[in-house]
Structure 1
Amino acid sequence: MWTWVQTKDCWSCGTHNNFNPKASDSWKDLPESDGRMMATGYGSGAVFGYAGTDRVCLAPNQICADDHRIAAIVAETGLDTLVGDGILGLGPDTLTDMPKLFIDSLKESGVIDQRMFSFLIGLDHNLPSKFMVGGYDVGKYAKGPIQWHETLEPKKTWYLDWTAVKFGDDTLKLDKTVMLPDTGTSFISLPEKTMNHLLSIMHEQYGTGEPKLYPVGLWGAHCTVEQYNAMPDLTFTIESTNYVISKHQYMINRNGHCVLQIAPTGDTGKAYLGINFFENYYGIFDMDNKRVGFAESVYSDLSEHQSMTHTNQILLNMSSVEKAGYFMEAAGFEHGHEIICGSIALVSVLIGAMIANCLLFRGQ
């Protein structure tokens, strides 16, 4: 996976700490014949730039890889709400069309002994996240033992074999699907059939309203506080190990709406364990042994208020129209997105009429 940073020449990158390759004594351009130009896409956007090599460090002159291949970004689309200044690619190295990973460069430089990294996901400054390269620290960041899972053949990414997902006592419908733990994904994501079954159980057994799709692309329904409080845990079974998240992590209740913090993946044969899964579990990614490990996180006993902090951070990644539409519907207004778009159109017409009137007045 690419490691890339936004540059001062990026006309669409917004306000960031932009990188200037010309100001770096260690930057080296790649020749055109070596695939200098690059483009890569994500679920919500894409970046475009040119490749080179430079000294890359996780902190000033600490944990550094010399002559590491990175991309200097000159244009991006769909990532205008990205908080960071770039992305550190950590996908497995068997994706042969991608440059060498940062984790590989660190091992070749003798900085780390194992191609391994781990994540503790926190929600705010009081519960900070931690990223470790070269190993893990269960004693510091986890409560229990590690459960290891081998990645699936042909081991082109971190795909795992999962056998079931339960909503309380109900086993949800599940076709043959691979599971990808992904700290770069905001929410847990489930296949369409599984999502539909979950929504139908909410409606038929827990009495929520008819399922509806909210403007932000998330499903939910009208519900009472009592119905929300009755919602059970969601349990994922990977091989023979169960992983549990509570309703505070997979759902929010606001002004009579229960909105799932679970995104649909359609009929792709894939599911994702996003950030709200890692609220409960410390994640360890072992490239050398082609396995992923989970252990209960020291943050697993989060209160509902603390879990809501994460949701509010995710809402910051919406467009202004999506965000306004979401909050209008959450406040009890039906068709919030349509109201916002209609209001914008009406204001545009009024402004146009005012401008036309001014021009006519000046013409007289």
Structure 2
Amino acid sequence: MHLPIALVLAALPLLAMTVPVTENSDLTPHPGFSIPIAKRSNLYLADGSVNTTKLQGMTTRPVDKVRRGLDAYKRNTGATHPLAHNVKMSIKRATGNVSLTDFEADLWYGEIMVGTPLKPFTVDFDTGSSDLFLPGSNCDSSCAGHTAYNPRSSSTSRDLHETFSLAYADGSTVDGEQYTDTVSIDGLTATKQTLGSATEYSTGFEDSQFPPDGLLGMAFQSISVYGAPPVFQTLIDQGKVTQQEFGFYFAEDGSELYLGGTNTALYSGSFTYVPVFFQGYWMTYFDSFTVNGVEVLSFTTAIIDTGTTQIIGDSSSVQLIYDQIDGAEAAPEYGDGIYTIPCTFDTPIELTFNDVTFSVSPSTFNLGPVAQGSSTCVGGLGADDDLYGLWIVGDVFLQNVYTVFDVANSQVGFANLA
């Protein structure tokens, strides 16, 4: 399904040519701030095989997150986001043993400081949402093992006397109270930042399942459940960053979030930029999805989401792609929209953005064997029946590129890794 032509034409002035970004391309230095991030995966067992119970809901969780943002957009703006036509807005009933335990299979998290005096917390950095929440000091036993945020211990904390509730498809929620306080990331300090202090964490946020203390959203204000500026937007508004962009680099070792620019040591060549068609999500498009040299999809709407493990698309398109992969099969026994592939998988897969093609490594597309010693593995592309021509591009692709999220120019850029 293509974007409406009026929306495409409106975005055409934003389309950028491929822009050189060598280290010496700008004589004026733009200092940025590097935040180390670590990966924690709940997707694997100790023997290296995929924990198939965690696959339950892997594709539906990101879609539920999109629904929540679309609801928030309508509350915040009074208008319907264009993506509402691409997503079935009714919430699915939970099926089987699906709980918030599989909130995210892979998490990329790092440290922030909150309050006065500053106190350290770890958070999952998520470009698919826009709010910051932490476990509160009055949270019940569900928050055990996490560092608690105590607004009474911070001289800069202010109670907004507003509650919040983040709901999921299985009926689980994260509930709490909204405050403003000081939030600092590697010395970049946002004052009067809205955040949530949770009074209840569902089982998926227990320490054994969700190692960070909380979550920090990095999408746009219009999908904020609080209706408030996200942390990076506050840093921009308060003049704390020189460049209004941040970059993500995902790797087994040395992963980082870079605020206020990009880390030139981690990518090579040029950035290829694609416009954000409609703010809320980092919503853009890819030109084509190619399998073994065959173009299966053309011009497709996509959300770029660091908080999603797989690439997720509508069921019919995903089926067309797996039809091009020898030995691929639907595997509903492992979860809705899950497919398996041979563990010897080496089929070339490519996504093209603004006429520039990027490869998806077989090692990132292959999520691992369904059991120890099995020759059957889980594919990194999932399907959801509630998507209509909308895709969510997660870590299976993002681990292959350096990604910059450019707030000032409302665009996303990709570069090859160094």
Residue 91 (structure 1) aligned with residue 225 (structure 2):
no
TM alignment of 1:273-312, pairs within 5 A:
273-298=393-418
The higher-RCO structure (CA 8 Å, 6+ apart) is: 2
**Residue of structure 1 equivalent to 2:305:** 182
- Which residue matches 1:219? 338
Give the whole-Å Cα distance in 2 for the aligned partners of 1:222 and 1:288. Answer: 41
* Per-residue deviation, residues 274-319 of structure 1 (Å, max 9, x unmatched): 1121211111111111111111123xxxxxxxxxxxxxxxxxxxxx
- Report if the CA contact (8 A) 2:272-2:354 is conserved: no
State the alpha-carbon separation in 2 of the partners of residues 19 and 237 from structure 1. Answer: 43
Which residue of structure 1 lines up, in the alignment, with residue 155 of structure 2?
25
- Asked if the contact 1:200/1:211 (under 8 Å) is kept, the reply is no
Question: 1:67 maps to which residue?
Answer: 192
Deviation at 1:14, TM superposition (A): 3.9
Task: State how far apart, in whole Å, the 2-side matches of 1:243 and 1:251 are.
Answer: 17
Contact 1:46–1:79 at 8 Å: present in 2 too? no
User: Would you say the 8 A contact 1:142–1:295 is kept in 2?
Assistant: yes
Counterpart for residue 335 of structure 1? none
2:131 partner letter = W
Consecutive unaligned residues in structure 1, runs of 5 or more: 299-364
CA distance in 2, matches of 1:67, 1:141: 33
1:198-248 CA distance string (max 9 Å, x none) = 23333xxx2x2643234255633474x6xx24x312111223221211221
Q: Distance in 2 between matches of 1:146 and 1:19?
A: 39
**Does the C-alpha gap of structure 1 residues 42 and 284 become closer, same or farther in structure 2, counting only changes over 3 Å?**
farther
- Say which SS state the counterpart of residue 268 (structure 2) adopts: coil
Equivalent pair of 1:150/1:160 in contact (CA under 8 Å)? yes
The 1:212–1:37 alpha-carbon spacing in structure 2 relative to 1, beyond 3 Å, is same
Q: 8 Å contact 1:214–1:220 — kept in the other structure? A: no
Distance 1:240 1:267, change over 3 A: farther
**Secondary structure of residue in 2 paired with 1:293:** strand
SS in structure 2 at match of 1:276: helix
Corresponding residue for residue 262 of structure 1:
381
Which residue identity does 1:114 align to in structure 2? Q
The reply on whether 1:106 has 2:235 as its aligned counterpart is yes
The verdict on how the C-alpha distance between 1:13 and 1:67 changes in structure 2, with shifts beyond 3 A counting, is same
Work out which of the residue numbers 27, 37, 44 in structure 1 matches 2:163: 37
Q: Name the counterpart of 2:175.
A: 48
Going from structure 1 to structure 2, the CA distance change for 1:27 and 1:211 (only over 3 Å counts) comes to same
* 1:134 pairs with one of 260, 266, 271: 260
Match of 2:185, as an amino acid? Answer: L
Q: 1:266 to 1:284 in 2, by over 3 A?
A: same
| Contact kept in structure 1, 2:217 and 2:230, CA below 8 Å | yes
**Measured at CA, do residues 209 and 286 of structure 1 come closer, stay the same or move farther in structure 2, by a change above 3 Å?**
closer
Whether the 8 Å CA contact 2:181–2:195 is kept in 1: the answer is yes
| Aligned equivalents of 1:194, 1:56: Cα separation in 2 | 42
Counterpart CA distance in 1 for 2:270 and 2:408 is 20
Which amino acid is the alignment partner of residue 244 of structure 1?
Answer: S
Cα distance in structure 1, aligned partners of 2:341 and 2:194: 50
Give 1:104's aligned amino acid: Q
Classify 1:107/1:209 alpha carbon distance in 2 versus 1 (closer, same or farther; 3 Å): closer
Q: How far did 1:115 drift?
A: 2.5
Q: Do residues 240 (structure 1) and 355 (structure 2) align? A: yes
> Does the 8 A contact of 1:218 with 1:259 survive in 2?
no
Change (3 A) 1:43 1:190: farther
Cα offset for 1:253? Answer: 5.2
SS at match of 1:106: helix
Alpha carbons 1:232, 1:246 under 8 Å: kept: no
Q: CA deviation at 1:142?
A: 0.6
1:16 pairs, out of 146, 158, 179, with: 146
Structure 1 equivalent of residue 269 of structure 2: 144
Cα distance in 2 between the residues matched to 1:217 and 1:14 = 31
Percent of residue pairs identical: 19
May I ask how many residue pairs the two structures share in their alignment? Answer: 278
Gap runs ≥5 in structure 2: 1-129
- Would the alpha carbon gap of residues 287 and 39 (structure 1) be closer, same or farther in structure 2, given more than 3 Å must change? same
Query: CA 1:219 to 1:101, structure 2 compared with 1: closer, same or farther past 3 Å?
Result: closer
The aligned amino acid for 1:28 is R
Inter-partner Cα distance in structure 2 for 1:222 and 1:3: 37
**Whose Rg is larger?**
1
Question: Aligned pair in 2 of structure 1 residues 196, 169: CA closer, same or farther (>3 Å)?
Answer: same
Amino acid at match of 1:57: S
In structure 1, the partner of 2:365 is 250
Point out the structure with the larger helix share. Answer: 1
**Cα deviation 1:153-199 (Å, max 9, x = unaligned):** x333211122321111222256x741111111112112211211123
Give the structure-1-normalised TM-score.
0.70
CA contact (8 A) 2:351 2:357 kept: yes
Post-superposition offset of 1:17: 1.5
The alignment's TM-score, normalised by the length of structure 2, stands at 0.61
Higher strand share: 2
User: What amino acid does structure 2 have at the position aligned with 1:18?
Assistant: A
Q: Distance in 2 between matches of 1:279 and 1:24?
A: 38
Q: In structure 1, how many angstroms separate the alpha carbons of the residues matched to 2:310 and 2:168?
A: 15
Please give the root-mean-square deviation of Cα atoms over the aligned residues, in Å: 2.3
2:316 aligned to 186, 190, 193, which one?
Answer: 193
2:136 corresponds to which residue? Answer: 7
